[in-house]
Structure 1
Amino acid sequence: MKKGFIITVLVVITLGFIWGLWYVFNLDRKDPEIFKTEQPSKKTIVKKTVATGSIVPKEEVLIKPNISGIIDEIFVEAGDVIKSGDLIAKVKVVPNVTSLTSAKNNINSANTQVETARLAFESQKNIYNRQKELFNKGVISANEFDQAQLSYDQAKQRYNQEKVNLTGARQNYDIVKTGTTSGLGASANTEIRATVSGMVLDVPVKTGNQVIEANNFNDGTTIATLADVDKMIFEGKVDESEVGKIKENLPLEITVGAIENKKFDAILDYIAPKGVTENGAIQFEIKGTLSKKDTTFIRAGLSANASIILAKSEDVLSIKEALVNYDSETKKPYVEVEVGDQSFERREVELGLSDGIYVEVISGVSQEDKIKVWNQLKAPSQFGGR
């Protein structure tokens, strides 16, 4: 029993010794580490942040009726380019019974007032004629005659005014009943005309639809939406983590998903002073005015991305960020430059602008230097590497 234990221990020690010799032998034969190198190059480095949004007109004008009724006819459709004053639609008035009755009563009242004023005028006219005859004969004084003439002129003025009021009451009745009256011409309430020049973006109503007039208590029904499509803006939102990096007047590069291989320049001219919560994150609205340098037609509402240019360095010496290491104590950046066959020396570098992939090198290396790539490769084996 004791003899078998000793033999077992000796066998284990022998096998361990043999394994150790094998490990040391293979360690000496381990392939050397080989590092690739890369040289600095001249690049334009742009530091930017991206905002998502859409392209919209700078100003949209909603055309609304100033009288309620039913759309009788529409003269435009979306995509038409029109001028200020062009006819858009006609509205057929459906009179309100209460308003119609009130307008009719006003006519009756005005008729009564006209007749009363006419009688008073005729009476004063007769008195005036008699007083004038007596004055010419020297029977009455000039003061009495002047008083008669004054009363006559006042009665005449009241009569003329009541006739004007009657005309106004009749016109009001016509407007309530039909939406227009004689003498209005192009100002007829039933004719809906463009208030600005531009493109028709939308006509949300159809012939036969009922519309409501715009007033102090109601926004009214939109008959058409107009905009100047030559003045478009980017409207989007940025996260609160990015809003502190941007400011007004920064350049934007706009890319529109529906327009391939095109970039549009813009200027950031608005950053919302207050953020809003969307999906648990605070978002700030931004706007940028597009500077259209070509004739590409951009449709309103197209989704777009805006690259906000925070900083830009053109044609500068740069290397990949992955080539840079940082000293564990001083935190200063450095690279390793090849000085011989797979022999490298450490050099501290001064870095500038970075876009996350490439970084500007201000000093420390030249364009001819070969910089170590930290991911090493194994040298190919004499008998075929794995």
Structure 2
Amino acid sequence: MKKVLLGIFVLIFLALSGWMGYYFYKKSNTDPVVYKTEEPVTTDVVKKTVATGSIVPRKEVEVKSQVSGVVEELYVEAGEIVKKGQLLAKIRIVPNIVNVNNAENGVQTAKINYDEAKRELERYEDLYQQKVISEQEYRKYKADFNLKREALQSAENNLQLVREGASKRSGQASNLVYSTIDGMLLDVPIKAGSSIIERNNFNEGTTIATVADMRSLIFEGKIDESEVGKLKENMDLLLTIGAIEGRVFNAKLEYIAPKGVSEEGSIKFPIRAQVLLSENDFIRAGYSANADIVLDKREKVLTVKESMLSFEKDDTFVEVETAPQVFERRAVKTGLSDGINIEVVSGLQKTEKVKVPEAAATQKI
């Protein structure tokens, strides 16, 4: 039994010895590690944050009707350029029976009062001509006649407004809809024959058209609370619009909301920026856009990749190649970083090579 155990032990020892010999042989023939190096680059470093939002007109209005009825004529369509005061639509009023009845009763009452005042005035005018009554008393009846005449005209105008939407006295028609500003028609949501509701104190009314000044556009977006403290008015923005490839538009930050809003569990602050367009630029309203807000910038400075740095307490180090694959650990002073490249203020020359950590390749020497 002892001889068997001894034999097993010897076999195990020989196997381990052979494996160890093979391991050290392979390790001695392994190619040495060659570290990759890169030279510092002179470039611009821009620190920025991103806000998402959309492009909207600064001035956009919804034109509504002053009367209810049916659209009889529609003179414009979306995309047209209109001027302030230009006729957009004509409304055919469908009169309310109760309102018409009340207006007709008002006319009849005013007519009776007018006829009575007229007879009184004629009678007292004869007495005044005969010097029976004084001028003061005559003027009282004449003033009463004038008031009754004005009341009759007002009742007739009211009846005409209820029936037709226009009055003879004013010469204006409330059933005609005009543009209130110069601009482009973004939308005309109604069609000829559509029923509409008037604008009043109790409802917004039916929108006849949406008009906007497309020469003055703004970017409206939101930015996270962790970044809003770094923003200031008049900062430069670079707008990237998904629908317009290969173009970057400039903008100027003009508003930062003093109060944030809760959105998907985080607090975000609305911002607004003026879009700076050239004469030939045209951007459609409603485009989604991303705004790169430039927080700080360094132009033509010496930079290395931030991944090349190592940190120890408050010091920053890089490994500089002093001879082929021989590196020296050196402290450097850094400046602005954009998350990829970082400015090197001192401690490194442009011609020196810096070790790229964990970017190694193997080769046989």
- Please indicate, yes or no, whether the TM-score normalized by the shorter chain is above 0.5: yes
**How far is the alpha carbon of 1:350 from its aligned partner?**
1.0
Partner of 2:342: 359
In 1, Cα distance between equivalents of 2:279 and 2:310? 46
Contact 1:249 1:267 in 2 (8 A): yes
Aligned partner of residue 142 in structure 2, secondary structure = helix
**How far is the alpha carbon of 1:376 from its aligned partner?**
4.8
What's the TM-score, normalizing by structure 2?
A: 0.95
Residue of structure 2 aligned with 1:155, choices 141, 148, 166: 141
Say if 2:332 is the partner of 1:349: yes
Q: Letter of the aligned partner of 1:274 in structure 2? A: K
Q: Letter of the aligned partner of 2:259 in structure 1? A: K
Residue of structure 2 aligned with 1:306, choices 291, 306, 310: 291
Contact 1:120 1:155 in 2 (8 A): yes
**How far is the alpha carbon of 1:172 from its aligned partner?**
1.1
> 5+ unaligned residues in a row in structure 1: which ranges?
133-146
In 2, Cα distance between equivalents of 1:76 and 1:183? 29
1:312-327 pair list within 5 angstroms: 312-327=297-312
1:20-169 pair list within 5 angstroms: 20-131=20-131, 148-169=134-155
Partner of 1:138: none
1:233-312 pair list within 5 angstroms: 233-312=218-297
Q: Do the aligned partners of residues 262 and 378 (structure 1) sit closer, same or farther apart at CA in structure 2, a change above 3 Å counting?
A: closer
**How far is the alpha carbon of 1:33 from its aligned partner?**
1.8
Q: Letter of the aligned partner of 2:320 in structure 1? A: V
In 2, Cα distance between equivalents of 1:222 and 1:106? 33
Q: Letter of the aligned partner of 2:139 in structure 1? A: D
In 2, Cα distance between equivalents of 1:211 and 1:288? 36
Q: Letter of the aligned partner of 1:303 in structure 2? A: S
Q: Do the aligned partners of residues 5 and 65 (structure 1) sit closer, same or farther apart at CA in structure 2, a change above 3 Å counting?
A: same
> 5+ unaligned residues in a row in structure 2: which ranges?
none
Aligned partner of residue 54 in structure 1, secondary structure = strand
Contact 2:34 2:363 in 1 (8 A): no
In 1, Cα distance between equivalents of 2:364 and 2:358? 19
Partner of 1:370: 353
Q: Which has the higher strand share?
A: 2
Q: Which moved more, 1:72-81 or 1:213-222?
A: 213-222
What's the TM-score, normalizing by structure 1?
A: 0.90
Deviation string for 1:96-155 (max 9, x for gaps)? 1111111111111111111121122122212212226xxxxxxxxxxxxxx611111121
* Dislocated runs of 4+, deviation >4 Å: none
Aligned partner of residue 36 in structure 1, secondary structure = strand
In 2, Cα distance between equivalents of 1:378 and 1:221? 71
Q: Letter of the aligned partner of 1:182 in structure 2? A: K
Matched pairs, number:
365
Aligned partner of residue 253 in structure 1, secondary structure = strand
In 1, Cα distance between equivalents of 2:362 and 2:195? 83
Contact 2:157 2:169 in 1 (8 A): no
In 2, Cα distance between equivalents of 1:374 and 1:171? 90
Partner of 1:218: 203
